[in-house]
Chains A and B, each alone.
Chain A
Amino acid sequence: MKYRVFVVDDEPDVVDLLRTILETGGHAVEVATDPQLALSQLLDDPPDLLILDLMMPQLDGFELLKLFRQDHRGASVPVLILSARSGHRDQILSLQCGADAYICKPFSPRHLLAEVDKLLEISVGKSGD
């Protein structure tokens, strides 16, 4: 079964890379480079998994994550944070804001795919109960 993965990152090249990797991994990919527009899209039609960048000029990834989690439609969607910041503080803060996983940039495509598959498996397993 194809899963819908939504990518929010302000960097078009990174978005393209993610699309390539995820499609290679057999997922359907939707992307947004503007986090403000992304929120309404996300809530209108919640994906199976959200991949979110932290440092974005229009809207901080933490803020987007908080708003997404506050809404019941975004409460149970697994979220993977993808950030250039490698400090413990951001990782902890992300998890506190409701993220499920944290991967530092630059990342290994295989690592990312493995993490995505794991999160989807857990999430689907849960909703299947």
Chain B
Amino acid sequence: MATIAMVSVVAVGVVLTIPRYLRERDMMEAGAVTYASLVVQQVAHSANLYRTTGRHILDRRVGELMALNPDLVRLEVVHVGGEIVLQADVSGALTLAEQGQAQRTEDPETLRMIQSLKIEARRVRDSSGQMLYQVVAPAVEEWGRRTYSLVAYFGYDRVDRELLHSVLVVGSFLAVALFLARRAAVFLAGSITANIERLRDGVGRIREGHLDERVKIDSHDEVEELAAAFNAMADTMADTIQRLRETYRELEVLDQTKADVIANVSHELKTPLTALRGYLELLAQGDLGQLTDEAARSVSVCRKNLRRLDLRIEELVQLSQWERRVDVTGPSEEVHLGHLLHGVVETLLPSLEEKGVYCSLNLATDLPPVVGNSGQVEQVFFNLLGNAGKFTSAGGSIRVTAEPRSRDDQRGVLVQVEDSGIGIPKNALLRIFDRFYQVDPSTRRKYGGMGLGLALVQSIMEAHRGAIWVESVEGKGSTFSVWFPLRPSDSGSGAFSLRRRTDPDTMRSEGQRGQENQ
């Protein structure tokens, strides 16, 4: 309480005296400037008179001015070059410099003010250390050949008196406060400041990451309460951060466990597949004796289904890896999309032809290489073409095109896989990139697959900072478009986009689709 009382008393004292002091000072300065300009005009006029009538008139005028203004302690008329032409002081002595023998003003700030030809004022100390107001105002000879400024010095006495007055008022308040508080105000103020500084340092230490930092203050006042609140906040924060760290660690372990489980599952699944595939191929090749036609057909069916099983397992493993974002950016190398597309189409062509689906590949001749992971990019093409083949029936066709295409001012390559298959219903378009999504629950039986292919494609395109979108009309076909930037941008801001279109008007309209991709 005592502290509060004392601080208030001091504050009241300061509040009462400081503005008054400032007001006085401002008034004096403003007054001094106005006054100086009047004096200047008079002196300038007198200087002109002097030229025509002689020294005594100027002499008298300056003397009158000095007498009228007790605050004016010195007056100088200075040429813009710095020569002091005329000097008058409080004693009434007037000195006029003879031509060519003038003293010079050496102070650079005064010179600057003189040459600025504006009325300016400032506080200076004279050679005896006395505080003065210096006011500089221009005074131009009537015929304007030589330009002078008037430099007037006003005493600071009144200001000093006001200051003393303020100090006395504050001092008396302080004395009362001291008496009431029985404590040294300076010491108290110091201790408050010191405690607040300790608090500030504590906050700083926490910001630097020293979460165990606490501030101990025993001042039995609000600062101590503040410190206690600060410490409580720091405790809560440290607890929360600790919990978050633990959760993060648990999640990391869980993620690793999941990856390990999937790796083990894949090992467990693939080992029996190894023996199955190996023996089936040996059988098919006739290495284990000639097969009857019936047996050869059976072996062929076994091999085909084994291949499917293997692909599904591989999909599952790869997706779990993408999910972990491990190796997603992969080794970056130059990827020639044309070569990859050729390879993929070549691989899939036999099964497509067997099914009665026609497939064409149109590559632009000027396809630039993109930067990426060729294994992953190949996977994209395999999955898109695999899907196209899967959902296109006999007599249908698949058209694969690749051409240079800029997108958002970024150069890149656009690859499109267009099929004349069953198409995708509007309501399913939004979900086909979701994992395990199947357009029709019976799809799995009818077309095979686990609904991971497009999710994987999307992950890969995301990792390559590319884009993927699909246009489709149910019953007529689908066009999947993937776009690869020539160089994956570092910023990555909005670089990846996923667009789905159902508008039938844009279907099979090369021009409009072109605009759409700009």
Contacts and interface: CB of A to CB of B under 8 A. Distances in A.
Interface of A: 11, 13-14, 16-18, 20-21, 24, 55, 84-89, 105-110
B282 A24 contact: yes
Interface stretch (B48-56, B139-147, B273-281, B415-423): B273-281
B375 interface: yes
Contacts of B263: 85
A82 to B, nearest CB: 8
B281 A105 contact: no
Contacts of A110: 281, 285
B376 to A, nearest CB: 10
Nearest to B268: A84
A110 B287 CA distance: 11
Interface in B260-308: 263, 266-267, 270-279, 281-282, 285, 287-288, 306
B425 interface: no
> What is the predominant secondary structure among interface residues of chain B facing chain A?
helix
Given A84-B274, A86-B317, A87-B327, 16 more contacts: A11-B274, A13-B275, A17-B278, A18-B278, A20-B278, A20-B282, A20-B288, A24-B282, A84-B267, A87-B317, A88-B327, A88-B330, A88-B375, A105-B273, A106-B310, A107-B274
A106 B270 contact: yes
Contacts of B272: 13
- Chain B CB within 10 Å, residue with most, of A14, A20, A88, A105: A105
B160 interface: no
B326 to A, nearest CB: 8
Contact of A17 (B267, B275, B321): B275
B267 A55 contact: yes
B314 interface: yes
Contacts of A11: 271, 274-275
A105 B282 contact: no
Given A88-B375, A89-B327, A109 B278 contact: yes
A14 B277 contact: no
A11 B278 CA distance: 14
Contacts of A20: 278-279, 282, 288
A106 B267 contact: no
Given A17-B275, A17-B279, A88-B375, A24 B330 contact: no
Contacts of A14: 271, 274-275, 278
A81 to B, nearest CB: 14
A105 B287 CA distance: 20
A110 B317 CA distance: 25
Contacts of B281: 108-110
Contact of B266 (A16, A18, A84, A88): A84
A24 B289 CA distance: 12
Contacts of B282: 20-21, 24, 109
B313 to A, nearest CB: 9
Nearest to B281: A109
A85 B327 contact: no
A13 B275 CA distance: 6
> What is the predominant secondary structure among interface residues of chain A facing chain B?
helix
Contacts of A24: 282, 287
Interface string B399-411: 0000000000000
A12 to B, nearest CB: 9
Nearest to B264: A55
Nearest to A53: B271
Contacts of B314: 86
Nearest to B271: A11
Contact of B267 (A85, A89, A107, A109): A85
Given A14-B271, A55-B267, A84-B270, A107 B285 contact: no
Contacts of A87: 317, 321, 327
A18 B279 CA distance: 10
Q: Give the 10 A-B CB pairs with smallest separation, nearest first.
A: A84-B270, A106-B277, A13-B275, A105-B274, A17-B278, A106-B274, A106-B273, A84-B267, A105-B270, A109-B281
Interface string B305-328: 010001000100100010000010
Nearest to B330: A88
A55 B306 CA distance: 22
Contacts of A18: 278
Interface in B231-276: 263, 266-267, 270-276
Contacts of B275: 11, 13-14, 16-17
Contact of A21 (B267, B270, B273, B278): B278
22 contacts: A11-B274, A13-B272, A13-B275, A14-B274, A16-B275, A17-B275, A20-B288, A21-B278, A24-B282, A24-B287, A55-B267, A85-B263, A87-B321, A88-B330, A88-B331, A105-B273, A105-B274, A106-B273, A106-B274, A106-B276, A108-B281, A109-B282
B463 to A, nearest CB: 13
B303 to A, nearest CB: 10
- Chain A CB within 10 Å, residue with most, of B273, B274, B277, B314: B274
A20 to B, nearest CB: 7
A3 B46 CA distance: 127
B452 to A, nearest CB: 15
A105 B271 contact: yes
A20 B375 CA distance: 32
A17 B282 CA distance: 9
B278 A107 contact: yes
A106 B267 CA distance: 10
